[in-house]
């Protein structure tokens, strides 16, 4: 039982973005990620799961904004108003590196989860955009400190 409770997973990611302050559009130039998947049973599957989870998180961070009416009903429940990531939204360069397995003691043949944990790295997209906005504000003589709630959609960037 102590073996199962000792299940730790480590990862780190870094996003590089460009924003157009006039249109609010964002281009994700690159995302570099290192990920602890333990003793991967199938590296290609693990990398695919990590990339898919990361792009889903990109959507949550930059595109997908729920609009609700006064009665609480969702009013942008179609793809006309509710934007999910498309092929043009994914990073131009996306590098995923699986960390070498030092101690294959994870519960399932030494492997670790590869899908959902990568969602947490998606915050890097939001904070990279927020940082870029801060630099643009600084160039205009404004403070780099400002409040911004996710998603960092084009409307919010403008």
Known catalytic membership, residue 116: yes
Tens-digit pLDDT profile for residues 39-96: 888 999 999 999 999 999 999 999 988 888 999 998 887 777 778 888 899 999 999 9
Higher-pLDDT residue of 132 and 36 is: 132
- Residue 144 binned pLDDT confidence (cut-offs 50, 70, 90): very high
What pLDDT was estimated at residue 108? 67
Measured CA to CA, the distance from residue 42 to residue 15 in angstroms comes to 26
- Residue 2 binned pLDDT confidence (cut-offs 50, 70, 90): very low
Mean pLDDT is lowest, of 31-35, 110-114, 121-125, 127-131, for 110-114
Contact residues for 136 (Cβ-Cβ < 8 A; gap 6+): 19, 21
Residue 102 has pLDDT above 80, yes or no: no
The pTM for the full model equals: 0.86
**Strand 93-98 versus strand 11-19 pairing type:** unpaired
Contact residues for 92 (Cβ-Cβ < 8 A; gap 6+): 27, 28, 29, 30
Backbone angles phi, psi at 13, to 5 degrees: -140, 150
From 66, 97, 116, 138, the catalytic residue: 116
Residue 62's CB is within 10 A of a number of other CB atoms, namely 27
Backbone angles phi, psi at 53, to 5 degrees: -65, -40
Residue 14 has pLDDT above 80, yes or no: yes
What pLDDT was estimated at residue 80? 79
């Amino acid at each position: 039982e102590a073996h199962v409770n000792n299940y730790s997973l480590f990862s780190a990611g870094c996003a590089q973005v460009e924003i157009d302050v006039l249109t609010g559009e964002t281009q994700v130039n690159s995302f570099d990620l290192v990920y602890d998947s333990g003793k991967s049973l199938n590296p290609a599957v693990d990398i695919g799961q990590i990339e898919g989870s990361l792009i889903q998180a990109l959507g949550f961070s930059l595109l997908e904004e729920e609009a609700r009416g006064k009665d609480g009903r969702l009013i942008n429940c179609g793809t006309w108003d509710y934007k999910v990531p498309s092929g043009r939204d994914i990073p131009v360069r996306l590098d995923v590196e699986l960390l070498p397995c030092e101690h294959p003691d994870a519960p399932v043949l030494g492997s670790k989860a590869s899908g959902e944990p990568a969602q947490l790295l998606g915050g890097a997209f939001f904070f990279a955009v927020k940082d870029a906005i801060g630099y643009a504000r600084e160039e205009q003589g404004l403070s780099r400190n400002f409040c911004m709630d996710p998603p960092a959609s084009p409307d919010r960037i403008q």
